[in-house]
Amino acid sequence: MTEKESVRIDKWLWAVRLYKTRSLATEACKAGKVKIEGQSVKPSREVKVGDVYTINLGTLNKTVEVKACLHNRVSAKLVPDYLTDLTPPEEYERQQMIREMNSEKRPKGTGRPTKLERRLIDRMKNKN
C-alpha cells in the first residue's frame, strides 16, 4: 500500500468534518471514543477503504464506513463522497429526543422569566 492510499484516522476524521479540529480528533481517539469492531483505535492507525468505525460524538454514536482516503479537509457537500453513514435512524431519533428534553420552550415575546417564574421552573425540574 502506498502512502496515498492510506491516511491516519485522526486526520481522516478531521477531513470528513466529524471533528472541528485535528487535535479534537486525536483526543477522541486517545479517549477511546473511536472504535473499529469494538476495539479502540490509536490516532496513528491507518484508514483503509471499507473500514467501519463507530464514533462517540457526545450522546450520538455514529457508525461510518470509509469510501475513500483523503489528506485535506473537504467541503461539507463533498463529505458523502468519502464516507457512508451507517448510523441507524433510531440513534438520530434518540438524539432528537434528548435535545427536546433539554430545551425549554417559552412562548415568543414573553421575554426572560422573572425571579418567581425561574424559581417555579427550578422546582418543576427538581433543582430546589
Domain positions in the chain:
3-92
Q: Report the CATH architecture of 3-92.
A: Roll (3.10)
25 Cβ neighbours under 8 A, 6+ residues apart? 9, 10, 11, 13, 14, 18, 19, 34, 43
Paired with 35 in beta bridges are 40, 54
Handedness of CA 103, 106, 108, 112 (dihedral sign): negative
The answer to whether 63 and 53 have CB atoms below 8 angstroms apart is yes
The number of beta carbons lying within 10 Å of the beta carbon of residue 34 is 24
How far CA 44 is from CA of 11, 59, 72, 120, 125, in Å, comes to 9, 25, 16, 51, 44
Q: What percent of the chain has pLDDT over 70?
A: 95
pLDDT tens digits, one per residue of 70-87: 989 999 999 999 999 999
pLDDT tens digits, one per residue of 10-41: 999 999 999 999 999 999 999 999 999 989 99
C-alpha cell, 33: 471514543
